[in-house]
Amino acid sequence: MTAILVALMFLITITVGLIITKVREKKRDEAIAVPKSHSYAVFSKDSILTPKGIYFSQNHNWVQIETNGNAKIGIDDLLNKALGFFKIVNVCRTGQLVKKGEVIAQIDLNGKSLNIYSPLDGKIISVNKDLIEDAARFKESPYDDDWIVNVEPLNLKENLLSLHIGDEVISWMKNELSRFKDFLSSLSPKAELVGVTLYDGGNISEGVLDFFDQETIKKFEKEFLK
């Protein structure tokens, strides 16, 4: 009888141990799981769109000068791909005066936020309401109809001196992508959990920023958007 009880207790102990192990593994998997909104596509310097005839700012905006002298402002494709699915919120109101470096809108990334800073001094002429209601359009291209605000520039000639255009955009964007890889590498091993293959052709998972917390998002903003 004693032998049977010992064997029974042994089996119970093993069973309980297996259950605890399964629970811990489940919690671990949930803790490192990629968010559902995360994209499994990857991007590199060759897949980042940089249309000709458009100015690019250090804070990852693009500026397109219209024939009437006004300027459309949006976010560039590196930021677009790094964010994945997101929403544009808290956009400046029509008629508001803004200075270069001031916040013109915010990005809502599943409850986490980043500021979008103006690359120009000017007056907000209009806001792209269609874009605000449909953030998914950023998945293909953030240019053309995906502008955020239309601005009447006040110091355009001076402001354009700090923007990139033409061939210099390619080298600048390449350097920015390299800086972004270094930024992600500093967050290792979290970066590896979302498929950032920094040592395998330099590819980065689209929507990679969605994986990180608000503190990390703010660090990214400070280094790349201000």
Q: What is the CATH number of the domain that holds 114?
A: 2.40.50.100
Which tens digit of pLDDT belongs to each residue from 183-203?
998 886 555 544 555 544 567
* Six-digit token string for 68: 């009437």
Cα–Cα dist 113/212, whole Å: 12
Above 70 in pLDDT, residue 83?
Answer: yes
| Helices (runs of H) and strands (runs of E) counted in the chain | 7, 11
Span 53-74, mean pLDDT?
A: 96
The boundaries of the domain holding residue 104 are: 39-226
Above 70 in pLDDT, residue 22?
Answer: no
Cα–Cα dist 4/10, whole Å: 10
Residues sharing a CB contact under 8 Å with residue 110, sequence separation 6 or more, in sequence order: 35, 37, 85, 86, 210
Above 70 in pLDDT, residue 75?
Answer: yes
The answer to the question of residue 224 being in a domain is: yes
The answer to the question of residue 52 being in a domain is: yes
Which tens digit of pLDDT belongs to each residue from 152-192?
999 999 999 999 999 999 999 999 999 998 899 888 655 55
* Neighbouring-strand partners of residue 105: 116
Q: If you average pLDDT over every residue of the chain, what do you get?
A: 81
The answer to the question of residue 48 being in a domain is: yes
The answer to the question of residue 31 being in a domain is: no
Above 60 in pLDDT, residue 3?
Answer: no
The answer to the question of residue 75 being in a domain is: yes
The answer to the question of residue 220 being in a domain is: yes
Handedness of CA 56, 59, 61, 64 (dihedral sign): negative
Cα–Cα dist 111/214, whole Å: 9
pLDDT value for 105: 96
Strands (E), 144-225: 149-153, 204-205
Confidence of residue 145 (pLDDT cuts 50, 70, 90): confident
Residues sharing a CB contact under 8 Å with residue 62, sequence separation 6 or more, in sequence order: 54, 55, 56, 73, 74, 75, 76, 142, 143
The answer to the question of residue 9 being in a domain is: no
The answer to the question of residue 159 being in a domain is: yes
Number of domains in the chain: 1
Model confidence, pTM: 0.77
Strands (E), 24-182: 42-43, 55-56, 61-65, 71-75, 87-89, 97-98, 103-109, 112-117, 122-127, 149-153
| C-alpha dihedral (50, 55, 61, 62), degrees to nearest 10 | -70
For residue 225, which of 140, 70, 105 has the smallest C-alpha distance?
Answer: 105
